[in-house]
């Protein structure tokens, strides 16, 4: 696992040991960022269910100016912090030890909004994605022209519309699927 492009290109990333996380493959990550970018001119990224932090670090490497990583697993938190340090992104990063819904409410309370929200929940709880998107909307976390990217098992069929978010693209990579959402006005 590595950073694919940008200022940290080629930097190896640690993975979380054990079966509690499933890292996004480099192939899926590269395809995802080629679809949405591939580069950014500033902005904020929220990486929910961060795991190793690979997706958020890729966004920072490609030009996002600030990233918030949310993870509740203690082993994964250690890996995220090590990967942030290896990429020398400490100033641009904030790590929250919390579950996704609690973090969304806390970030909404801080008045933050994000240009890119990445979420890769464990496949066994990916059916909670609609509830998480509703919470993101309720807390006004997505900027006006922001994107939400959801990685999930290919068997999960997410609705075309969740609240004011419309699915505008869906891609499959073997057992992995990625659904792309934005506000209805931006579709």
Q: CA-CA distance, 151 to 177, in Å (whole number)?
A: 6
The first and second tokens of residue 27, run together, are 């192939």
pLDDT of 185 above 90:
no
Q: Which domains does the chain carry?
A: 26-186 (3.40.50.150)
Compute the mean pLDDT over every residue in the chain, rounded to the nearest whole number.
93
User: ∠ CA(16), CA(26), CA(65), 5° rounding?
Assistant: 80
Res. 69 pLDDT band, cuts 50 70 90: very high
pTM: 0.94
Q: CA-CA distance, 166 to 184, in Å (whole number)?
A: 5
CB 155: neighbour CB atoms within 10 A? 9
CB 99: neighbour CB atoms within 10 A? 13
User: ∠ CA(64), CA(104), CA(86), 5° rounding?
Assistant: 40
pLDDT tens-digit series, residues 135-148: 999 999 999 999 99
pLDDT tens-digit series, residues 17-50: 865 556 778 889 999 999 998 899 999 999 999 9
Contacts for 99-107: CB closer than 8 Å, 24+ residues apart: 99/70, 99/72, 100/48, 100/49, 100/70, 100/132, 101/131, 101/132, 101/135, 103/48, 103/70, 104/48, 104/132, 104/135, 104/136, 104/139, 104/141, 105/135, 105/139, 107/46, 107/68, 107/139, 107/141
pLDDT of 122 above 90:
no
pLDDT tens-digit series, residues 172-182: 999 999 999 99
């Amino acid at each position: 696992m590595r950073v694919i492009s940008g200022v940290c290109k080629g930097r190896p990333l640690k993975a979380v040991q054990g079966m509690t996380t499933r890292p996004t493959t480099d192939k899926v990550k590269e395809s995802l960022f080629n679809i949405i970018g591939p580069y950014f001119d500033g902005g904020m990224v929220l990486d929910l269910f961060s795991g190793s932090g690979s997706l958020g670090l890729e966004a920072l490497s490609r030009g996002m100016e600030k990233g918030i990583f949310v993870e509740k697993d203690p082993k994964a938190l250690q890996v995220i912090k090590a990967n942030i340090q290896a990429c020398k992104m400490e100033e641009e990063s904030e790590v929250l030890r919390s579950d996704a819904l609690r973090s969304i409410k806390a970030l909404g309370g801080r008045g933050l909004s994000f240009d890119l929200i990445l979420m890769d929940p464990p496949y066994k709880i990916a059916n909670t994605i609609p509830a998480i998107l509703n919470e993101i909307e309720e807390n006004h976390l997505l900027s006006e022209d922001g994107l939400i990217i959801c990685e999930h098992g290919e068997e999960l069929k997410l609705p075309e519309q969740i609240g004011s978010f419309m699915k505008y693209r869906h891609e499959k990579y073997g057992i992995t699927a990625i659904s792309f959402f934005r506000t209805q006005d931006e579709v």
